[in-house]
Amino acid sequence: MIEKEDGTFLLVNKPIEWTSFDVVNKLRYLLKIKKIGHAGTLDPLATGLLIICTGKMTKRIDEFQGLEKEYTGKLVLGQTTSSYDLETDPTPPLEISHITNDQIVTTANSFLGKIQQVPPIHSSVKVNGKRAYAFARKGQEVTLKPREVDIKEFEITNIAKPAVTFRVVCSKGTYIRSLANDLGKTLGVGAYLSELCRTRIGDFQLKNAETPEDIAKRISDLRTDKTDHTDI
């Protein structure tokens, strides 16, 4: 399955509540290989496509990270969280009955193109050599600089207020949590991200990915097959 010298890459469907490094560590153990890494972090509460590179293929991590991404997700209007998702508790709900479906769609469209986006404080962005989330979890204030990202598509796929489902196609470095928060802020009622799934990275599709459990079973079956066919 794996050429340990030359390396390869795997398409993994990351389970919810796993960190991206959890996936890397699991596969490092399964494959008995040291040189392994992922090409683009997914938050623990997100699911979906993660590219794992091994051996010499790790040299292509930057290339994979730079590819266009596609996500589907759900946001909740009328409430906010400090993490912009469900890592932290939502505020009490605000009245949102005055927000129309057309307003939601029009506001989403206003984010299309190249925009300046501030990452969530609960993120892995480094500030003075430390991850921003390290400050956030201690209740310390920190200012993050905005960065340019490209929102190529922001499609509202269903509205059942307060829930709004969507599909986003975007550039490297885009925080969908920040996009949800900014949409809510623009509407004047707040919003947080409640679900997120990465469905595509470049031409690589989630439908072609395997769960860590699938990969573990495949490796086990291959090793069993090799043992059964060993000459005595």
| pLDDT digits 0-9 by tens, 23-57 | 999 999 998 888 999 999 999 999 999 999 999 99
Query: In one letter, which amino acid is 224?
Result: T
Answer with the residue of higher pLDDT: 160 or 133. 160
Is residue 150 among the annotated active site residues? no
Give 155's strand partners: 167
Q: Which two tokens stand for residue 52?
A: 């794992």
For each of the domains in the chain, give its residue range(s) and CATH number, in order of start.
Answer: 9-66+203-228 (3.30.2350.10), 69-200 (3.30.2350.10)
Give the angle 118-124-126 at the CA atoms, nearest 5°.
80
Question: Cα(79)–Cα(4) distance, rounded to whole angstroms?
Answer: 48
Whole-angstrom CA distances from 138 to 9, 134, 141 are 37, 7, 9
Q: Global pTM? A: 0.89
Catalytic residue among 6, 43, 102, 150: 43
* pLDDT-based confidence at residue 121 (cuts at 50, 70, 90): confident
**Cβ burial, residue 161 (10 Å; 0-12/13-18/19+):** middle
Angstrom distance (rounded) from CA 2 to CA 171: 30
Confidence of residue 5 (pLDDT cuts 50, 70, 90): low
* Mean pLDDT, rounded, for 78-89: 95
Packing angle between helix 212-228 and helix 20-31, nearest 10 degrees? 0
